[in-house]
Chain A
């Protein structure tokens, strides 16, 4: 087992300028843990990988972006404040959609007691008349891997009380295709 020393001032983590579509005045708090994971964490990440062995692991673990940073900030940073996420949903004009109308590219958020504990992007939906294939999501699991998984096969499903899907809507043209 690793015996390496860690003595990190987590408040010293760097952040980037991040805003919603509204621009100046809509800053979103964020930060990055831009350092390698210790061996203990890598070991935990491997155990999680073994537990969820139907998922596809796309990237090695890293701490500088989390699921919300992947979904809403192009994999650049960590977003973790529920009010900031609510602000992104509102100001970027995301709208709730029902599970049966989900398309690739839509966003999914797993909530627990109002906390958006996980998010991801839909990458696969069942074809018409296919009631067997589940919805597939790409998401980042904390400081761990970026993973392609089915909607329910992830560590955030078991304790969540609500899963909501969102699609961005054109500010000027609504849902007209």
Chain B
């Protein structure tokens, strides 16, 4: 659960500049360090950390940046149902419900493409694909599989 100072600084800058929730979501999903952070933590680690922050009584400004970081990291966990998190617990995060909706859309489309990937790689069992995708997010080149 280690996010670099540079990554947290970048999240803070992005949140400061954001005019829309999608700007936060899209800009942070461009960051390679965030993808690596997501891949180095399980969905339950991310969820638990978010829950800890939400229950904290004396939050620091840095905590808000970390909360956005955790939310966007959860968007790389296609088998995690973001709706498991109670939106009431996220009320302290500006635009949390909009960001949760964006995560939900990305996660459901990723599960769909994971299934297509499964059909294209018969040597991989569906259980193996699900296991893989739960620990490591893969960018799937959909067009490549269509050509094949």
Which A residues are closer than 8 A to B by beta carbons?
2-11, 13, 33, 37-41, 44-45, 47-48, 61, 66-68, 78, 80-82, 112-113, 115-119, 140-144, 155-156, 159
Could you tell me how many residues of chain B have their Cβ less than 8 Å away from some Cβ of chain A? 30
Report the minimum CB–CB distance from A149 to chain B (whole Å).
13
Chain B residue nearest to A8 in the complex (CB): B92
Chain B residue nearest to A33 in the complex (CB):
B94
Q: Is the interface of A mostly helix, strand, loop or mixed?
A: loop
Does B27 reach chain A (CB closer than 8 Å)? yes
Knowing A8-B92, A48-B13, A159-B26, the reply to whether A40 touches B19 (Cβ < 8 A) is no
Query: Please, which residues of chain A bring their CB within 8 A of the CB of B57?
Result: 7
Query: How far apart are A142's CB and chain B's nearest CB, in angstroms?
Result: 4
Chain B residues close to A by CB (< 8 Å): 9, 12-13, 15-23, 26-27, 30, 57-64, 91-96, 98
A117 and B19 contacting across the interface, CB-CB below 8 Å: yes
Query: Which one of B19, B93, B98 has the greatest number of beta carbons of chain A within 10 Å?
Result: B19
CA distance A118 to B64 in the complex (A): 22
Complex interface: chain A residues within 8 A of B98 (CB): 80-81
